[in-house]
């Protein structure tokens, strides 16, 4: 197949992936999540009420067998609908993560970097800038962009032996790019990371979060700047809602087979994946460790190079990497003692040129091999309050970027 044909197929698959993430269809991930937050409490109340009614009829001396059977059938039907919705949401999330990995991962390191650079470049070119499409950017383009950056960031940290998490290192050493379905790193590390990124901002759809953004009477523009107290409350509500969706809104698909040992292994692996997903979503935003920056670093970088903020200017994108380099220089000169153990990484960051002087993926995929450390240094410096003014200006919109 010619290179142009391959690119056309990739763009088509990317467009389809964006549509599954966000559209007006009730089956898209955005609409399913929004419906969950809007109706979950009522559905659980109805389920509990149906169970209590059935139990009361069982103990009532005057209740007929037909009444008990009808109440039991109603309760069972509500249970079935709830579980089916949970399994559908989980299947959708798993499918979205798999599709993104198919677009970003190759059979070698160089091919993976090329695929990732091409994907990031396409997202950068295709992203709409109109105000009315802010939700599309927030819940489709940015999650995909951040997910790819998170994958490459983790690859870099593990390749440079900057992370010593035993489970991560063990899975990374067993990585098999030629057999992704049987690759521990792909199934137990990369998939949960992509899922976590997709869930990272979905809590903004919770009614309480929307109340902070738009006001109790929806009287405010969703793109308005928020004050510090509103931003803190929004972050807390959104994070809790995303975690609630993971813990209450998803169900593990049943095992298909008759092997008892294999079934136990399957459920153990699924529980481990859910546990790590929960850990990723509960990462403290103030955590300055490398692992703590795994999701935050790409989030900050994407906020610079993708639209969504009122102060976004497409013509100023080339300055994004320059800003981060200046921050890295400051980090080297005035680093706190708490980052001394990461000095080697910071030095490597200061020499990296992955992002180039233009948005990621649009120049050369060679730059992708060394840019992630630059992002890490940026977020560390950003959290040191030495550029607090810029940080506040870049994150004062209602929808976090």
Higher pLDDT among residues 96 and 228, named by residue: 96
Domain boundaries, the chain: 3-394
pLDDT at 5: 54
Q: What is the pLDDT of residues 4-59, one digit of tens each?
A: 555 678 889 999 999 999 999 999 999 999 999 999 889 899 999 999 999 888 88
Q: Angle between the 142-159 and 109-126 helix axes, to the nearest 10 degrees?
A: 150
- Give the Cα separation of 137 and 133 in Å (integer): 7
Locate tokens 């039907």: which residue? Answer: 77
DSSP string, 236-277: HHHHHHHHHHHHHH--PPPP-SS-HHHHHHHHHHHHHHHHHH
As a whole number, the mean pLDDT across the chain is 77
- Per-residue confidence (pLDDT) for residue 70, from 0 to 100: 92
| Nearest partner of 304 among 142, 155, 143, judged by Cα | 142
Determine the average pLDDT of the residues in 153-176. Answer: 88
The HSE-up count of residue 311 (CA atoms within 13 Å, CB side) is 13
pTM value is 0.80
What whole-number distance in Å separates Cα of residue 266 and Cα of residue 335?
Answer: 45
Stretch 244-264: mean pLDDT: 85
Question: Between the CA of residue 14 and those of 121, 127, 143, what are the distances in Å?
Answer: 12, 12, 13
**Tell me, what's the pLDDT at 272?**
82
For the segment 312-362, what is each residue's pLDDT rounded down to a tens digit?
666 666 666 666 566 555 554 344 433 333 333 333 333 333 443 444 444
For the cut 90, the answer to whether the pLDDT of residue 276 exceeds it is no
pLDDT at 379: 42
């Amino acid at each position: 197949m010619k290179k142009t044909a391959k690119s056309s197929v990739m763009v088509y698959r990317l467009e389809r992936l964006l549509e599954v993430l966000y559209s007006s269809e009730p089956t898209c991930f955005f609409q399913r999540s929004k419906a969950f937050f809007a109706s979950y409490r009522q559905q659980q109340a109805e389920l509990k009420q149906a169970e209590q009614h059935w139990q009361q009829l069982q103990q009532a001396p005057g209740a007929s067998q037909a009444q008990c059977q009808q109440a039991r059938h109603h309760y069972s039907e509500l249970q079935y609908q709830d579980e089916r919705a949970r399994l559908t949401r989980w299947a959708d999330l798993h499918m979205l993560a798999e599709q993104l990995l198919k677009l970003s991962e190759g059979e070698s390191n160089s091919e993976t970097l090329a695929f990732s650079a091409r994907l990031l470049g396409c997202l950068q070119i295709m992203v709409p800038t109109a105000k009315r499409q802010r939700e599309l950017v927030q819940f489709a383009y940015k999650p995909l962009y951040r997910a790819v950056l998170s994958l490459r960031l983790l690859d870099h940290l593990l390749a440079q032996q900057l992370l010593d998490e035993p489970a991560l290192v063990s899975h990374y050493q067993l990585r098999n790019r030629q057999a992704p379905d049987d690759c521990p790193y792909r199934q137990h590390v990369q998939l949960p990371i992509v899922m976590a990124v997709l869930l990272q901002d979905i809590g903004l759809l919770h009614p309480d979060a929307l109340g902070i953004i738009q006001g109790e009477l929806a009287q405010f523009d969703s793109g308005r700047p928020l004050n510090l107290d509103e931003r803190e409350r929004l972050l807390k509500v959104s994070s809790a809602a995303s975690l609630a969706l993971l813990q209450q809104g998803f169900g593990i698909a049943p095992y298909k087979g008759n092997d008892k040992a294999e079934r136990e292994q399957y459920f153990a692996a699924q529980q481990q994946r859910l546990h790590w997903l929960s850990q990723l979503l509960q990462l403290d935003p103030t955590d300055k460790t490398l692992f703590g920056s795994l999701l935050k670093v790409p989030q900050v970088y994407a906020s610079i190079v993708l639209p969504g903020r009122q102060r976004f200017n497409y013509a100023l994108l080339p300055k994004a990497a320059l800003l981060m380099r200046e921050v890295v220089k400051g980090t080297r000169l005035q680093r706190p003692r708490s980052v001394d153990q990461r000095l080697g990484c910071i030095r490597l960051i200061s020499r990296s040129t992955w992002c180039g002087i233009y948005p990621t993926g649009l120049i050369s995929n060679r730059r992708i091999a060394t840019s992630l450390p630059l992002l890490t240094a940026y977020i560390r410096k950003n959290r040191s309050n030495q550029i607090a003014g810029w940080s506040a200006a870049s994150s004062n919109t209602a929808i976090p970027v």
